[in-house]
Amino acid sequence: MTLITGALLFTLYRQLVNEQQHQIDQHLETEKQRYIQLAQTVDRRSFAAQIRAADPKSVLVAWRNSFDIVGSLSLMPEDIPLLPETVEFPILSGGPDKLHILTGGLVITRYGPVLIATRTDQLATLIKKFLRAAVTAMTLTIVLTMALGYLFSKAILRRLVQYNRLAQRIERGHYDTRLPISWRQDEFDMLAKQFNRVLDTLEDNLQAVRGVTDNIAHDLRTPLSHLRIGLEQLKDKPSEEQAEKAEQLIEELDFCLATFDAMLSLTRIEEGQQQLDLQDVELSQLCTDLKEMAELMAEERGQTLNLTLGQPCVLQGDKYLLFQALFNLVDNAIKYAGDGAAIHIRQNGREVVISDNGPGIPAESRERVFERLVRLDPSRHHQGTGLGLSMVKAILSRHQAKISLEDNQPGLRVIIGFQ
C-alpha cells in the first residue's frame, strides 16, 4: 500500500514538474521569438526602450548595451546558455522576498545577446510544498499500514493461537471439541469447517470402535466367563454329570470361536481381502434353494414361507457368499417375525424382496442394524453373533448390490437390488 501510494505521488510529482517546466519553456520560447522579431523591426534605441518596458512579473530581460545593462535585471551572470537551454540562478531584489530563483537563457539578437528569464521560485515553493505533503502522506500511509497490518496479523495470530489451543485439547482426548466459525466466512472459517468435518468423522469412527470394543467385551467376555466358572465347577461335579457339563462348555466355546471367525471374515470381506469366486448365479435358483433350506425352520415356528419368482436373472457373483447373505436375511425374518408370521421371498429380475408381517424395525433404527455387533434387543436374548447384517451388507456391497429396509405395514421388507 505504501508502495502504491509512493508510486502515485511520484507520478503526480513528475507530471506536475514536467507541466511547469513545459510552461516555462514555452513562455521563454515565446519571449525569445518576440525579442528576435523586435530586434529585426526596431532600431537600437527603441529596442532598449522595449526592454526597459518589459513587465518584470511576466518576464525579466537584460541586454548588455555597449556601456551598461538595460532591463529589469541589473546584472548578467556568466555562463548562461543559449535558449532553449536554460539555467537556474538566484538574484537579489529590493522586495520583501529578497532572494529569487530565476530560470532563463540567452537569446542572440541583432543587437547582441539578451538574457530572458522568468521567476520560478513559485515552482520551487510548489514543489517544496508538494514534497512536504507527499512525505506527510507517505508517513501517514506507512504508519496506517503498519498499524492495520499489526492489528490484522494480530487477529490472524489470535485465531491461530486459538486453533492451536483447541488442537491441543483434542490431542488430550476431548474429541467433542470443535473450532469456532465466525461470521466472516473467510479462509479461516473454511479451514475450521473442514477441520470440524474431519473431527465429526473421526468421532463417529471412534464411537464405532468404542462400541465394537464394548460389544466384543460383552460378547466374548460373557461366554468366556461362563466357561471359566463352568470349568471351575466341573472338577467338583459328580462324574456322571461331568460329561454333559463339558459338552455344554464346548458349546459356549464354539460360540466364542464362531463370533471370532465371523469378525475376521467380515473384516476380510469388507476390506476386499477375500477374493470373490465369481460365477454365473441364477437368482431364481438361489431363492429356491433358500426356501428349501429355511422352510422347515419357518414351519417349526408355525410360520409360512412363500416364494414368488418373476423375470429370471443370471448375474456374476460369488454364489456361496450371496446365498449366505440371503439366508441370513430369511433367518432373521424367521427369528424376529414371531410365531405364525407370514414370510415372503419375491424375486423379479435383479431384485429380491424378503418381507414379513412381524413387528418390523422402527424407522430410526433401520440404518443402525447394519452396524457391527448392534442388536436392537439390548438384553441380547437371541443367540447370534450380532454380525449377521453387517456381513449381509458387506457381501452385497462387494456385489454392487443395494439393500434397503422398509416398512411392510406391518412388518419388515428388505429389498435387495443388483446392478
Piece of the chain touching other proteins by CB under 8 A; list 15-23, 33-41, 110-118, 291-299: 291-299
- Residue 353: CB minimum distance to other proteins, A: 21
Q: Could you check whether the bond before residue 223 is cis, i.e. omega within 30 degrees of 0?
A: no
- Residue carrying the nine cell digits 525579442: 35
Longest dimension (CA), the chain: 161
- Residue 321: CB minimum distance to other proteins, A: 8
User: Between 364 and 383, how does the x/- string for binding to other proteins read (CB under 8 A)?
Assistant: --------------------
Binds other proteins (CB under 8 A): choice among 55, 57, 173, 296? 296
Residue closest to 395 by CA, chosen among 362, 418, 366: 418
User: What are the strands of the beta sheet with 412-417, ordered from one edge?
Assistant: 304-309, 342-348, 351-356, 412-417, 402-407
Residue closest to 182 by CA, chosen among 196, 172, 192, 195: 192
| Residues that contact other proteins, how many (by CB under 8 A) | 36
Binds other proteins (CB under 8 A): choice among 264, 278, 314, 376? 264
Q: What are phi and psi of 308, to 5 degrees?
A: -120, 125
Q: What are phi and psi of 71, to 5 degrees?
A: 125, 180
Is residue 293 within the footprint of other proteins (CB under 8 A)? Answer: yes
Is residue 241 within the footprint of other proteins (CB under 8 A)? Answer: no
Which of 115/322 has CB closer to other proteins? 322
Piece of the chain touching other proteins by CB under 8 A; list 152-160, 272-280, 309-317, 403-411: 272-280
- Residue carrying the nine cell digits 520583501: 96
Q: Which of residues 320-349 bind other proteins (CB under 8 A)?
A: 320-321, 323-324, 327, 331
Cell of 295: 422352510
Which of 19/244 has CB closer to other proteins? 244
Is residue 257 within the footprint of other proteins (CB under 8 A)? Answer: yes
Angle at the Cα of 96 from the Cα atoms of 94 and 97, rounded to 5 degrees: 95
Piece of the chain touching other proteins by CB under 8 A; list 16-24, 77-85, 227-235, 313-321: 313-321
Binds other proteins (CB under 8 A): choice among 48, 124, 199, 297? 297
Give me the half-sphere count of Cα atoms (radius 13 Å) on the Cβ side of residue 27: 19
Is-contact 159 188, C-beta < 8 A?
Answer: yes
Is residue 88 within the footprint of other proteins (CB under 8 A)? Answer: no
CB atoms near residue 388 (< 10 Å): 22
Q: What single-letter amino acid sits at 33? A: Q
- Residue 381: CB minimum distance to other proteins, A: 15
- Residue 159: CB minimum distance to other proteins, A: 51
Angle at the Cα of 191 from the Cα atoms of 185 and 193, rounded to 5 degrees: 75
Is residue 300 within the footprint of other proteins (CB under 8 A)? Answer: yes
Distances, alpha carbon 17 to alpha carbons 5, 31, 121, 137, 189, in Å: 18, 21, 13, 19, 50
Which of 123/354 has CB closer to other proteins? 354
Is residue 294 within the footprint of other proteins (CB under 8 A)? Answer: yes
Residue closest to 278 by CA, chosen among 398, 390, 388: 398
- Residue 277: CB minimum distance to other proteins, A: 7
Is residue 278 within the footprint of other proteins (CB under 8 A)? Answer: no
SS3 93: coil
Binds other proteins (CB under 8 A): choice among 69, 126, 212, 246? 246
Which of 178/245 has CB closer to other proteins? 245
Distances, alpha carbon 18 to alpha carbons 12, 139, 377, in Å: 10, 25, 93
Residues forming the site for other proteins (CB under 8 A):
244, 246-251, 254, 257-258, 261-262, 264-265, 268, 274-275, 277, 289, 292-294, 296-297, 299-300, 319-321, 323-324, 327, 331, 384-385, 388
